[in-house]
Structure 1
């Protein structure tokens, strides 16, 4: 396997041994996962190094099943004698657990047998001194922006991670990834008229990062633009979510189509499969095999094949986000969206989730707005997953006569996600920055509460 680095093969051998011990001692089925990682994080402020932190993780998790009883145990020690104790503890726990009707391993026919090379691992090695220099450069560039008066600091990091999974039904797989990041956060203005903002970049490959000078300059410019915000009166107006914050709208959607939420009946979309939930020009995709994608992985947390999934086509809801357990509860088949830690049952979640870009530049998207809000920051979390009611604090800029006019703050925006989804219009400025991404989104008729 081309991505087996950071001792991934050794992890597979350890997990093989652990599964064999579990079956020998009485487990009817078992799976085991090992997650390893190392990282270095540095922070600087006013040109001085404030923190250098190095961390390592070596976590091992075992699930054993006896009939419909299951138990989970974890350890950070992989010595042979510890593996024996781990199995004994897991089996003793399983025998005293209540039966879970829908627990179990994935069907062998669903397991991945080929693994795509997703180009997630970069061999570039950065010393603490390299990271410190990147952080200082970003901070200095921000401080040089006219109007910036103070710094909350610059940061940089690099890391390596490896995930290995083995099941008693025959799955064996591992993959590794690297990560690099640079950030800066600064303050503009003085006294009671200070505003802060930030910028950052994070990628699997160091060469994909924007230059620290660019990151710092953008952080400084953003902070300065927020100076002297106005308070606005309440009203119902179009709201445009910048592509810095629009992913949060998509995040509410992904939570609402989680298989577990649908099975529990705790989602405002629980009865909407196949229905129009977005305008007919909207497509939402989850693609775990996106090369160098922030959340890419060659198989899911149960070893299942995880192909691209079109969750919304022509505005219509096409699929839930399913692992084996939630699929069984709904009488369906898993679609390879299991997530996995070392001490709990598999969950379900999206990978590289994104809404396809629209056709209009941001300038055209707002050109006919006589009065409205352009959101660059969201505060708090006021979303009811059962009803779809939405209310969050917001700040950004007021739109007047089709142009971004002046900064505003201390506002609350409210609506219902069912209505918000149907009134949504995307811009053409989609950027892939993280696991969930969306272009700028215009939603008409939202309530904005101010003074």
Structure 2
């Protein structure tokens, strides 16, 4: 991939699209170019299975004619006049949308910081192959590991160019490097699988392949000879940070303005009320330097600020884009994301802020309970909060992890789970959703 990142041509083409749309009859418009450059190598049992490389610049034009809106997309080489005329013609026959509009001009980012999201390090296909092979070899070297599901390494750059008819022009690029492996321990019907990975903006910060492989192998071996446990109520479960991140994702979904507008969130009527255990806070910050989900402006040209979405357990904000905010009588907070031709709200660098207890002490304090390392199925109802999922992990006896557990189900309601969370202090902020180890009391466990 070329180290040169020049968005000036894309900005120019996007501006021309806006001008042509206005000439074709649009009252307002915005044009977006999503740029992507990536390469990856996957291996299995010491042999390369696949090498991929891709480049794309995907254009989309959104036009407004009165209260009507339409969007069209194209790849490079399209006729801009035809695209603009087609978009306006589509808008004229579209149903009215009273909430669709550009962001208010006063909210547009006129300047924004360099968040250091782009690492120009060149990584060759040979380097990716060597890293993938080394990651897999380290996993296979762990005693008890018998097979591999494969390993991979990747590098990529992506970004966005945005131009609007009311004066915004901006662009940014970011990089992403990754390594992963999945291995199998045991034989026959007693086989168990696990994985590990790392993903970073800066290549030099990636975990060593040997470390990733070793962690995957050790996790798989620990899962051997799992048992079922007895069905019980009021069980304390502990979510490994991997699983805790998914749990925080449920919180984000419940406070998404789009879900509130559609009445598909069980928290839709809870603004200003306590929804999490006292002392807990959920933060969201798009402006973290080198943050995994940072961005200098959102999909509408609005800069977002750090927000405490839930403070001391009390719900303070929804995630909002312009149209979603208008629908529920509020203003955007710079969380709009382009998804295809639509703009919807979403989190950025989201975190359940940590507590002051170590994960070891959290486990010791449980006495007897269930430490979960993997969840299975999609049994989460975001309208009612009902929660029921298959789980695997380790049984906790006398404050220590003992034997592996599988083929059990945990169940509760997210409303109750949110009020029973105790976070440890081991948060890792290298992911877009960050969470420490967490304990949740009072769950039902269905076993044998």
Give the TM-score of the pair, scaled to structure 1: 0.97
Displacement of 1:161 after TM fit?
A: 1.1
Shift of 1:293: 1.5
**Corresponding residue number in structure 2 for 1:36:** 35
Unaligned runs of 5+ in 1: none
Residue 250 of structure 1 is matched in structure 2 by 248
C-alpha spacing 1:225/1:140, structure 2 compared with 1 (3 Å): same
Q: Relative to 1, partners in 2 of residues 1:289 and 1:5: Cα closer, same or farther, differing over 3 Å?
A: farther
SS of 2:364 mapped into structure 1:
coil
Q: Secondary structure at the match of 1:425?
A: strand
| 1:423 equivalenced with 2:420 (yes/no) | yes
Report deviation, 1:371: 2.0
Distance (whole Å) between structure 1 residues aligned to residue 110 and residue 447 of structure 2? 56
In the alignment, is residue 158 of structure 1 matched against residue 155 of structure 2? yes
Residue of structure 1 equivalent to 2:71: 72
Contact map agreement 1:8 1:162 (CA 8 A) in 2: no
**Which digits, 9 at most, give the CA deviation of each residue in 1:187-233, with x for residues without a partner?**
00011110010100001100110101100010100000000001112
Is the contact between residue 68 and residue 101 of structure 1 (CA under 8 Å) also seen in structure 2?
A: yes
Are 2:321 and 1:323 aligned?
A: yes
Give the Cα separation in 2 of the matches to 1:433 and 1:384.
Answer: 28
Given candidates 333, 336, 339, the residue that maps to 2:334 is: 336
Secondary structure, counterpart of 2:60 in structure 1: strand
Contact 1:161 1:176 (8 Å CA) reproduced: yes
**Does 2:344 correspond to 1:347?**
yes
2-structure distance, mates of 1:12, 1:311: 34
Q: 8 Å contact 2:280–2:312 — kept in the other structure?
A: yes
Query: Residues of 1 paired with 2:14 and 2:205: CA distance?
Result: 34
Structure 2 SS opposite 1:156 = strand
**1:189-268 alignment to 2 at 5 Å?**
189-236=186-233, 237-268=235-266
Report 1:60-99 matches (<5 A): 60-79=59-78, 82-99=79-96
Whether contact under 8 Å (1:14, 1:78) holds in the other structure is: no
Corresponding residue number in structure 2 for 1:447? 444
Indicate whether 1:183 and 2:180 are aligned.
Answer: yes
- Judge conservation of contact 2:243–2:373 (CA < 8 Å) in 1: yes
Query: Does 2:364 correspond to 1:367?
Result: yes
| 1:78 Cα deviation from its structure 2 partner | 4.2
Question: Alpha carbon RMSD of aligned pairs, Å?
Answer: 1.1
Map 1:54-133; keep pairs closer than 5 Å: 54-79=53-78, 82-133=79-130
Superposed structure 1 runs of 4+ greater than 4 Å apart: none
- Secondary structure of 1:368's match? helix
Distance 2:182 2:210 in 1: 13
Indicate the SS of the match to 1:192. Answer: helix
- CA drift of 1:6 comes to 2.5
Partner Cα separation in structure 1 for residue 418 and residue 85 of structure 2: 50
Q: Secondary structure at the match of 2:242?
A: coil
Equivalents in 2 of 1:260, 1:43: separation in Å?
A: 37
User: What does the per-residue CA deviation read over 1:369-428, in whole Å, with 9 as the maximum and x for residues that have no partner?
Assistant: 232110110111111111111111110111111111111011111100110000000011
Give the whole-Å Cα distance in 2 for the aligned partners of 1:351 and 1:357. Answer: 18
Alpha-carbon distance, 1:5 to partner: 5.7
State the SS of the aligned residue for 2:120.
coil
- Check 1:38–1:24 CA distance in 2 against 1; reply closer, same or farther (3 A cut): same
Q: Equivalent residue of 1:280, what SS?
A: coil
Give the match's secondary structure for 1:407: strand
* 1:421-442 Cα shifts (integer Å, max 9, x gaps): 0000001110123211111110
For the Cα contact (< 8 Å) 2:73–2:341, is it kept in 1? no
Deviations 1:29-60 (A, max 9, x none): 00010011111110111111111011122210
SS in 2 for 1:366: helix
